[in-house]
Homo-oligomer: A and B are copies of this chain.
Amino acid sequence: MSTELQLYTYWRSSAAYRVRIGLGLKGLECVQQPVHLLEGGGRQHAPDYAALNPQHLVPVLMHGRRAVRQSLAILEYLDEAWPDREPLLPDSARDRGRVRALAQLVACDVHPLNNLRVLQFFERQWNVPRDERDDWVRHWIGEGMGAFEALVADDPSTGEFCHGDAPGLADCCLVPQLYNARRHGMDVAAWPTLARIERACLALPAFRAAAPEAQPDAPPQVA
């Protein structure tokens, strides 16, 4: 039943973007429930949403009445609940370890340092000026993407995509992170392997349909 999946999402959330890509790669239809992270002090802090996710973060996937939280957990859930669809993870423990490590490099060590709640903390608690907040963001993207590039550049397991010639979990994380890099004025050409993989990804409908600008809750001026 196509309407049994609902995604609590925000157009520019990097974590929600990952899940939208994964849903597209698995060919799963999903109803979007936008949660505006800036309006009204942030709709993620509203009591009904906080009851769904006490972390006050997007995304949350509803599968019927079951809530699945955390973007990487959601992506693995999709893979395990729909094993007949194109896999997001390879078969062997070794290869799965490689793909998960690349995904976690982004999801643990880059994105959480740069997300909205952290930047709001700097602005509101520490009065960090805008240009220093931007330096912070670029610093961690640079550290993380430099390491990602080193890990995929000369590895024979890298193919057209992060792992082999089919897109998967690592690509779901890489593309939104490069989108963030570009949004902060960084040149993705600094990471030639990542830039090449990004081009391969963006040639696929699942990645294009998941892009922030393509979302129903994107403001009209960016769509």
Contact = CB atoms under 8 A, between A and B. Distances in A.
Interface of A: 53-57, 66, 68-70, 72-74, 76-77, 80-81, 93-94, 96-98, 100-101, 104-105, 107-109, 111-113, 118, 121, 126, 128, 132, 136, 139, 143-144, 146-147, 150-151
Contact of A70 (B53, B108, B112, B144): B108
A105 to B, nearest CB: 7
Instruction: Give the interface SS of chain A, mostly helix, strand, loop or mixed.
Output: helix
Contacts of A81: 93-94
Contact of A113 (B69, B101, B112, B139): B112
A66 B68 CA distance: 32
A73 B151 CA distance: 15
Nearest to A53: B147
A151 B52 CA distance: 10
B132 A70 contact: no
Nearest to A106: B108
Contact of A126 (B98, B104, B128, B143): B128
A38 to B, nearest CB: 19
Contacts of A76: 96-97, 100
A121 B139 contact: yes
A100 B118 contact: no
A70 B100 contact: yes
22 contacts: A54-B150, A54-B151, A55-B109, A66-B94, A68-B97, A68-B98, A69-B105, A70-B100, A70-B101, A72-B100, A73-B97, A74-B97, A76-B100, A77-B93, A77-B97, A80-B97, A81-B93, A81-B94, A113-B118, A121-B139, A126-B128, A126-B132
